[in-house]
Structures are given as C-alpha cells and as structure tokens.
Amino acid sequence: MDALRKEKIYTIDDIYALPDGERAELIDGKIYYMAPPSRTHQRILLSLSRKIADYIEAQDGECEVNIAPFAVFLNKDDINYMEPDISIVCDSSKLDDRGCHGAPDWIIEIVSQGNKPMDYFTKLFKYRTAGVREYWIVDPMKERVTVYSFEKGVMEEYSFGEDVPVGIYEDFSISVQ
C-alpha cells in the first residue's frame, strides 16, 4: 500500500522568501502566484481608490485606504497572507508597517482572467469567515460589481455605470466605469 503523499504547508516566511518581483498570496498554507495586473485592472484600481480616499478625507474619516501590494494577515496564524487590490481599514490598531493584522472593514478585488475562481469563491469564503464587513468583486470582463454585505447577509449586483452604495457608509456610492 502506498503511503499518502503529504502536501507541503507553506508559511508567511515562504512568501517573504520569494524572489524580488514575484508576488503570491497564501491561503491555508497553499501558495497562489499572482500575474502582473493589466492596464484596465490598474485604471480601475486607481479610480476606485482615489474616489474612496477623497470621500474619507472630505468626511475627516478615520478609515485608511490601502492598495496592493499591501499585506493583510487575516487570521492569527502564519499560513494566511493576502494582498487585496483595495483594503479599507477603520481600526488603526490593526495597522503597522508590515500591513493589516485582522480583517479590513471593506475589501475590493478586481477580477483578472486568471483569478476568477479565487475572487468569486476562495477569497469570498476567507473574507466572510475572517470578519470583513463588505466585499466587492469588480469584474471588468462582465462589467459588473458584485457586493457582499456580510453584516446584512445580502449580495447585490450592479452594472458598470450604476451607482453602487457603499454599505459601511450611509451616504456614499461609487459608479464603476
């Protein structure tokens, strides 16, 4: 009888040991390498992060906008390390020079061709169970924004060009182009 082959469990140390320029995320001890983002991805990232940062600044808000590559240590373990496209963190005690320790309040992921299952399934589950309050999946191919409000237990979909209400704020919506 063959012995069962045990899959290697990677840690955050393995992420930090990657060669310069190589990016990856670590989910439950498994490494997921990331391809460089497209120009469309970067344009959406810049537009959304600017709108969110401008809103927070105009409100004298406490929250902070962070864009990838920005480390999010979701769990208090060494086998989970994420780099969401946009992380909004309202509890400054979670932040240090290494990144965010715990769940951000709001995460936005912009779908790339090769990472659809990660954004729609794997990360959705991880973010929900870690305590993220709101999760947006922005899909440029479908021109759709899927919004999960974990606090309210609802999922809503919007087309590009529609005003998408931000659940963690009462009076803020964003149109994704």
Span 105-153, pLDDT tens digits: 999 999 988 788 889 999 999 999 999 999 999 999 999 999 999 999 9
Report pLDDT digits (tens) over 40-84: 999 999 999 999 999 999 999 999 999 999 999 998 889 999 999
Q: Which residue has the higher pLDDT, 149 or 3?
A: 149
pLDDT level of residue 102 (50, 70, 90 thresholds):
very high
**Per-residue CA distances from 162 to 4, 135, 137, 157 (Å):** 51, 17, 15, 10
For residues 34-71, one letter each, b for 16 or more C-beta atoms within 10 angstroms of the residue's C-beta and e for the rest, the string is: beebeeebeebbeebbebbbebbeeeebebbbbbbebb
Contact between 105 and 90 (Cβ < 8 Å): yes
Contact between 78 and 13 (Cβ < 8 Å): yes
- Burial class, 158, CB count within 10 angstroms (exposed 0-12 / middle 13-18 / buried 19+): buried
Output the six-digit token pair for 72: 């999010």
pLDDT at 126: 95
Q: What is the mean pLDDT of residues 1-5?
A: 60
CA distance 152 to 30: 30
Residue 74 amino acid letter: L
Task: Say what the pTM is.
Answer: 0.93
CA distance 117 to 142: 14
